[in-house]
Structure 1
Amino acid sequence: MIAALGRFVSKSAERCLPFFNAVKGFKTAHWTEECQAAFEELKRYLSSPPLLTKPEPGEELLLYLSISPLALAAVLVREDHSQQKPVYYVSKVLHDAEIRYQRVEKLAYALVMAARKLRPYFQAHTIKVLTDQPLRQVLHKPDTSGRLVKWAVELSEFDIRYMPRLAIKAQVLADFVAKCSIPRQAAEFEIVQTPVMEKSVTHEERAAVEAEAEIVPAPAEQDPSAAEPLWEVYVDGSSNRGGCGAGLILTGPNSFTADYALRFGFHASNNEAEYEALLTVQVKAQRLKAYCDSQLVTNQIQGTYEARDERMIKYLSLVQQLSTKFKSFEVVRIPRAENTKADVLSKPAASGYTTLGNICMEFLQRSSIDRRVAEIMEVEHESCWMDEIVDYLRSGKLPEAKKEARKVIQRATRFSLDGESLFKRSYTLPYLKCLRPSDAAYALQETHEDELYHVLWAYRTTPRTPTGESPFNLSFGTEAVILVDVGTPSARISNFNEQLNGDGLRANLDLLEEAREESRIRVAAYKQKVSRYHDSKIRPREFRVRDLVLRKAAISQPKKAGKLSPTWEGPYRVKEVIRPGSYRLETLEEQLLPHAWNPKNLRN
C-alpha cells in the first residue's frame, strides 16, 4: 500500500520509517508507539490528499529537493496561472554507506534519484531544479569526487536547469518544503545544512507553516519601521611557511551559524588574510557587525590609522565599497582570546588542508586586489568553442536555441572551471587544460619544433611508461619547467612562490631515493606484464616419440658458440615425452642425451 500511495504522499519514505524499522527483523517484528503515531499521521494526511496534475507536452516543470539524515525526497511541480501544483512525489530511504554521504552529496543523490524514478518526465520536459544550494557548481567543481562525476554524467542526458528557489505558491507544497528548507539567510550564504525531520501537523498548523514558508517580501512591501536583523561575523587570518588562509564564523537570526574556511593560492600577510576574510562575506543583509583581532585592520577601517602601504590602501578601498551595500556596517576589535573559533579554522586552511570535515572550505586562486584589477582591465577576447561552456559553468547562461542549450549542458559535464581556466576531465590522465586558438598554436609550435635539442629535452621531461617518472625527475628530484608552461602559464607557474618552492625542492630531494625505488618496482612489474603478454601469444611446440628435431647450438654447446657457428645442430630423435613441454632425446645411433629438453630450444 505504501509503495502504491508513494506518489501522492509528500516525503513518504521519511513518514514510513517507523514501519520499515519495525519489519527489518521479520522474526522479531512488533508494532511500536512510533508505528502507531506514524500510522495516525498518515491517515490524517490522506484524509485530504493533494490533487496531482498532468503536465502539458513541452511544458517546463519545477523540482524541489529535500534531504534528511535517513531519507531523500523530491516533488515535481508545474505552474498553472502562477500557482504551483504537484505532479509527482518520490522518496527514498538511505541505507548503509548512503547515510554517511556528505550533505551536498545527499542533495545531488536526491536529484539523481528523482531523475531515475521520473525518467519519462525528465526526457520529455525541461526540468528546473529550484534550490538555495550551489548544486550546479558542486557537480562541476575541479575537486569533485568520483561519485559526483558519475552522477553529473548520468544527468547530462536531460535538460536540467538550476534556478534559485523563490516563493512557495501552494499549500500542498508547504508541507514538503517548509520543514526541509534552510532559513533564507543561510541560503544566501550558500552553506548546506541538514533539514530537520518533519513532525505531525494539523490543517491549522499546516496553514501556519505555509505562511512561514513564504519568501520574505520585497523591500518595498516591508514595514520601514521594522527592525532589521543583525548579522555578525568573526574573522581571523593566518600566514606561515605552510601557506595562508582565513576563518569566518557567521551568525544570524533564528540561531543561524555557519563556519567557513578560506585557503589561499597566493602569499598574504596576517592582515591581508583578515581583509580577504572580510571581503568574502556576501550575505544579503541590512546590518552587519564584524569582529576582528587585528589592531591595524580594525583601526584602518574605522579611520583611526592611515593606510600607507599600497596593498593596504587597495584592500581598504574594497572594504569601503563593501560597506556601502549595508545600511549599517561596523568593525570591532576584540581580544584574540575571544576569537579562538575563527583562529582554529584559519590554521588548518593555512597549513594546506583541502578539507575540514563538514566545514565549507573555498580555495582562492587570486587575491581580491588581483581579481578586481582583472575585472577592470579591458582584455581582448578571443571567441572560441570554450565560451559557451565557460558561461554555463560560471553563471548558468545557455544559448536561446533549445537544442544548442541541451548540447552545452551535456558537454559541460566533462569540463571543470578553476578560476579563469577551463579543464577537461580525463579518464586516464590528469585534468587537461583547454587553450584558445592562439594559445593552442603556440603550444603546438613549442611542442613539435623538430630540432635535436628540443627532441632530447622533450624525451627527458616526458614521463616514461615503465617508470611512471620522467628521466629528469629521477635525476634531479623535480620536474622541469618546459617552454609551453611559460608561454601559456600553467597552475604551477601562476601559483609560484619562491620561498615555498625552495622548501618543496628540498623535500623532493629527501624523497628522491624513495621515488627511484618505486620506479624500479614499476619497471619490474612492467617487464612481467610484457612477458605475460608475449607468452600469451606463443603457441608451444609439441613433438611426438621418434620425431626428428634440431637442437639450439648456443644451449647445447655454449663454449663453441660464435658469430660464424651454426645456430642449430643435430638431428636428434625424440625418445620419450616426459610431460608436456619436456622431452628426452637420443642420437640417431640410439645414444641417450643426459638431460631433458624444453621445446623452445628445439625445432623440426
Structure 2
Amino acid sequence: MIKWAIALGEFDISYQPKPAKKGQAVADFIADFTYPVDIASTPEAVASLPSEAQKVESTTSAWSLYVDGSSNQQGCGAGLVLTTPDKVAMEYALRFKFKASNNEAEYEALLAGLSLAKHLGVKQIDIFSDSQLVVNQVTNNFDAKDSSMAAYLAQTQLLLKHFHYQITQVPRAVNSHADALARLASAVEDKIGRKIHVELLATPSTMAAERISNYYDSRVKPRSFKIGDWVLKKRLLCDRVPSEGTLSPNWDGPYEVIGISRPGSYTLRSSDGKTLGHPWNADHLKYYYK
C-alpha cells in the first residue's frame, strides 16, 4: 500500500471511504424473500369471466393475491399472500373460531384477501386460488346451489365490484405459499409459530352481512292507518311552489282517511271536505296529532 501511495503521489487523487451498501442489502433481501408472482398457470386453469365482470388483462400495475383455505380435525384457517406491483409480499394467516367446511374456508380466504386489498386502495388485482369450486362459482361457470355457498358468493361479488380483476385457478403446487399459511392457521394453537401473525375470525363473514340486514329490517315498522285517522301528506316536488324557497313546509294537511283502496293505499279528504283525486301510499303519510 505504501509503494502504491508513493507511485500515485504525483497525481491529485483523493480517497473516499466506501459507503455501506444498505440500499443494495434491502433490495437483495426483498428479492430473496418475495414470493414470485410471474408463475405461469396452465391454460386450462384460467377460467373465463362473465360479460359483466370487470375483467382486464394482467399488467405490471396489477397486484396479485394468492389465497387458500384449510379445514381439518385440528381447526380451520385461511392463508393469503398479497403482492404489490413492486413484488413486495404481505403474508396473512387467519384462524377461525368456528367450524367451516373446506369450501367455506376457501371463500373466507378470498374474502379476507379482497378486504385487505380494498383497505389498501388496490384497484387492479390478479387473484389465484386452487379451489375449482370457488373460481368457477365466481366466474358463473358453476351454480351456487348450497345456501352457504350462495351467501359466500354474494359477499364475494360485492367486494369484487371495487376492483378490475382477473381470477385464475392454479394447481396446489403453484399455490404452496398460501397453502402453507392456511395449514399453519388451522394447526393446533400451541403449535403455531409466532413469527407469522395469525388473526382470529370469530364468526363467518356471511353472518356479519346477515346481522346488518336484520338490524335495518328490524327498524322498518309497517305503517298503516284506519278510516277516521287524520294524517299529513308529504309534499312532492311537483307540489312545491318555487317562490316559497327551500324553507317551504314538507307536509300538507291535515287530511282525513276516508277509504282504503288496498293495504297501504288510502283515500284522503281535506278538512274543508274536498276528496283528493287519487289514493296515497302510506310511505307518503304520517299521523297528525291534534
* Structure 1 residue 250 corresponds to structure 2 residue 79: no
The residue identity in structure 2 corresponding to 1:285 is V
| Correspondence for 1:289 among 106, 113, 126 | 126
Q: Measured at CA, do residues 333 and 37 of structure 1 come closer, stay the same or move farther in structure 2, by a change above 3 Å?
A: closer
Correspondence for 2:137 among 296, 300, 313: 300
Contact 1:263/1:352, CA 8 A, preserved across alignment: no
- Please identify the structure whose Cα radius of gyration is greater: 1
Cα shift at 1:377: 2.2
Q: 2:178 aligns with which of 334, 342, 346?
A: 342
| Cα distance between partner residues in 2 of 1:297 and 1:368 | 15
TM-score by length of 2: 0.51
| Residue matched to 1:353 | 189
Tell me, what secondary structure is at the counterpart of 2:83? strand
Count of residue correspondences: 161
Name the aligned partner's letter for residue 309 of structure 1: D
Map of 1:273 onto structure 2: 105
Report deviation, 1:252. 1.1
Query: What's the counterpart of residue 166 of structure 2?
Result: 330
Q: Which amino acid aligns with 2:169?
A: R
Query: Shift of residue 228 of structure 1?
Result: 7.7
Distance 1:290 1:353 in 2: 29
RMSD of Structure 2 on Structure 1 (CA): 2.7
Matches within 5 A, 1:209-220: none
1:372 matched residue in structure 2: 209
Q: Any stretches of 5+ residues in structure 1 without a counterpart?
A: 1-32, 39-67, 69-178, 180-226, 382-604
Give the alignment partner of residue 155 of structure 2, picking from 318, 335, 340. Answer: 318
SS at 2:99's partner residue?
coil
8 A Cα contact 1:228 1:286, kept in partner: no
3-state SS of paired residue (1:305): coil
Indicate conservation of the 8 Å contact 2:60/2:85, yes or no. no
SS at match of 1:280: helix
Q: Distance in 1 between matches of 2:169 and 2:87?
A: 23
Q: Distance in 2 between matches of 1:339 and 1:316?
A: 21
Q: Which has the higher helix share?
A: 1
- Look up the SS of the partner of 1:234 in the other structure: strand
Stretch of structure 1 that moved more, 311-320 or 250-259: 250-259
Asked whether the equivalents of residues 65 and 126 of structure 2 are also in contact (C-alpha less than 8 Å), the reply is: yes
Partner Cα distance (2:213, 2:188) in 1: 31
TM-score, normalised by the number of residues in structure 1: 0.25
Say if 2:199 is the partner of 1:362. Answer: yes
2-structure distance, mates of 1:345, 1:37: 39
Taking the TM superposition and a 5 Å limit, the aligned residue runs for 1:385-400 are: none
Structure 1 residue 376: Cα displacement: 2.2
SS of the equivalent of 1:307 reads: coil
The answer to whether the 8 Å contact 1:229/1:253 transfers is yes
Q: Which amino acid letter does the alignment assign opposite residue 77 of structure 2?
A: G
Tell whether the 8 Å contact from 1:264 to 1:363 is kept in structure 2 after alignment.
Answer: yes
Q: Partner letter of residue 305 of structure 1?
A: F
8 Å CA contact 1:261, 1:346 repeated in 2: yes
Q: Give the Å deviation of 1:260.
A: 0.7
Amino acid at match of 2:105: A
The residue type paired with residue 301 of structure 1 is: V
Task: Report the Cα offset of residue 361 of structure 1.
Answer: 1.6
Distance 2:74 2:87 in 1: 35
Deviation at 1:37, TM superposition (A): 6.2
Distance 2:124 2:144 in 1: 25
3-state SS of paired residue (2:173): helix
Gaps of 5+ in 2: 1-15, 24-58, 220-290
- Ranked by relative contact order (alpha carbons within 8 Å, sequence separation 6 or more), the top structure is 2
- Tell whether the 8 Å contact from 1:229 to 1:286 is kept in structure 2 after alignment: no
Q: Tell whether the 8 Å contact from 1:228 to 1:287 is kept in structure 2 after alignment.
A: no
Structure with the higher strand share, 1 or 2: 2
Question: Which residue identity does 1:330 align to in structure 2?
Answer: Q
Taking the TM superposition and a 5 Å limit, the aligned residue runs for 1:468-487 are none
Mapped contact 2:68–2:110 kept (Cα < 8 A): no
Match for 2:79: what amino acid?
G
- Partner Cα separation in structure 1 for residue 194 and residue 98 of structure 2: 23
- How much does 1:359 deviate? 2.2
Alignment CA distance shift 1:37-1:299 (3 Å) = closer
Q: Which residue of 1 aligns with 2:260?
A: none
Distance 1:273 1:337 in 2: 18
| Distance (Å, rounded) in 2 between the aligned partners of 1:339 and 1:254 | 20
Partner amino acid, structure 1, of 2:172: R
CA separation in 1, counterparts of 2:151 and 2:70?
20
Distance 1:338 1:37, change over 3 A: closer
Q: Percent of aligned pairs with the same residue?
A: 39
The alpha-carbon deviation at position 301 of structure 1 amounts to: 0.6
Give 1:374 shift.
Answer: 1.8
Q: Deviations over 1:84-123 (max 9, x none)?
A: xxxxxxxxxxxxxxxxxxxxxxxxxxxxxxxxxxxxxxxx
Residue in 1 aligned with 2:96? 264
Distance 1:272 1:357 in 2: 26
Name the SS for the 2:70 alignment partner.
Answer: strand
In structure 2, which of residues 49, 68, 72 is the aligned counterpart of residue 236 of structure 1? 68
SS at structure 2 position matched to 1:338: coil
Distance 1:286 1:37, change over 3 A: closer
CA contact (8 A) 2:78 2:95 kept: yes
CA deviation profile, 1:175-200 (whole Å, cap 9, x unmatched): xxxx9xxxxxxxxxxxxxxxxxxxxx
SS in 2 for 1:308: coil
* 1:376 alignment partner AA: S
4+ residue runs over 6 A deviation? none
